[in-house]
Each structure stands twice: as structure tokens, then as C-alpha cells.
Amino acid sequence: MTNSIFPRLIAVIFLCSALMLGSCGGMKPATSGSGKSLYESFYAGDGTIRYFIKPLELESADETILIDFNVVSSKNDTATAIFSIFSEQPLKTIDRIEFKNDSAQKVPSELEKMFIELEKNNYESRYSAAIPNKDMKSIFGDHNWKVIVESNGKKMTFTPKRKTQKKIITLNKAVFMLVE
């Protein structure tokens, strides 16, 4: 009789433990709508915070652009926009990129090619551009973006979907309202 109770007792203890662990593991804190999933922040010393804004997706008729940003919170600083354009042809040079919305039009003066590589069926052409913080604030101040890229005589106009527009609004409140 002792032999038949022991396996049942072990099974009951195991089952209870599994239920307790499962109920604790499934609990997540409620999200506050702060946009924390859209960026990472790091203390950089001297009262400065660095923000890494995760990629935002915009689309044109034939291409997609992903743009992420590195922003430093200190006054008169410059942010870096790092963008990848996915297209059927490699973009060996980019002549111009323009960030535009209903209240701002900003054209970074320096573009730097990072790399070009084949990703599945499209080329990923990755570039970076420096943008002053004051310009970043005006870009993020209005979610109706147009990003215009000119490359070898071809003009591509990228616009965000509604989901990306909501991210821009959240990032403006969570990051750019805090940047000097």
C-alpha cells in the first residue's frame, strides 16, 4: 500500500508546483503607454542620456526604408539617422535624403554609405546621416512624414503607415519632449 501512495503524492506535488509556476510566469505588468518598447535609453554621464530609437518602417511604391536613430539629450547635439533601403537594385550612391512633414523640411548635409548587401531577393543599402537635435524635434513634432530619397536620378518617396505614425507620436512624447 505504501508503494502506491508515494507515486501519487509525487504526482500531486509536481502538478501543484507546475500550476503555481505557470500562473506566476504568465503575469506581465500592465503597459503604461510610455513607448519604452520603441526605444532604449542609456545614461551617458554629465546629465546626458542616449536614446536608441528602434527602426521605423516607411514604404514607397516599390521599396521599403527602415530608419533608426541615435539621439543624445544634450543641448546643441546631433542625432544620427541610420537607414536601410530595400530595393531590387543596389543604391550605390544616395545623392540626397529629405525628411519632410507639414511643419518641417530637413535635408542632412552629409550622408555616409555603411554597406550594401543582398538580403533574400532585395538589396539592403545602408547609410547614415547626421541631423541636429533641433531638426529632429521638428521632424518628430508632426507624424505626417515623407522621406524623399534621390539616387542616380531616381526619386523615391516613402510614407509611414498608420502604425508607424502612432509610433512617431509616442516617440515625440517619450523622447523628443525631453531632448534639449
Q: What is the pLDDT of residue 148?
A: 98
CA-to-CA distance for 97 and 125, rounded, in angstroms? 13
Q: What is the pLDDT of residue 14?
A: 52
Q: What is the pLDDT of residue 6?
A: 61
- Give the pLDDT mean for 20-48: 65
Phi, psi for 145 (deg, rounded to 5): -80, 150
Between 56 and 44, residue with greater pLDDT: 56
3-state secondary structure 88-105: CCCCCCCCEEEEECCCCE
pTM of the model: 0.79
The dihedral sign for the CA sequence 134, 131, 37, 62: positive
Q: Which pLDDT tens digit goes with each residue over 67-99?
A: 999 999 887 889 999 999 999 999 999 999 999
Q: What is the pLDDT of residue 31?
A: 37
Q: Is pLDDT above 60 for 28?
A: no
- Domains of the chain plus CATH, in order, are 40-176 (2.60.40)
Residues in a beta bridge with 53? 39, 69
**Cβ neighbours of residue 53 closer than 8 Å, sequence gap 6 or more:** 38, 39, 68, 69, 70, 71, 171, 175
How many CA atoms are closer than 13 Å to the CA of 1, on its beta-carbon side? 0
β-strand pairing of 154-160 with 146-151: antiparallel
Q: Which pLDDT tens digit goes with each residue over 8-24?
A: 656 555 544 444 444 44
Q: Which three cell numbers stand for residue 174?
A: 517619450
Q: Is pLDDT above 90 for 27?
A: no
Q: Which pLDDT tens digit goes with each residue over 123-173?
A: 999 999 999 999 999 999 999 999 999 999 999 999 999 999 999 999 999
Q: What is the pLDDT of residue 60?
A: 97
Q: Is pLDDT above 60 for 41?
A: yes
CA-to-CA distance for 65 and 62, rounded, in angstroms? 10
4-20 core/surface letters (b: 16 or more CB in 10 A; e: else): eeeeeeeeeeeeeeeee
CA 123 to chain centre: 20
Q: What is the pLDDT of residue 18?
A: 46
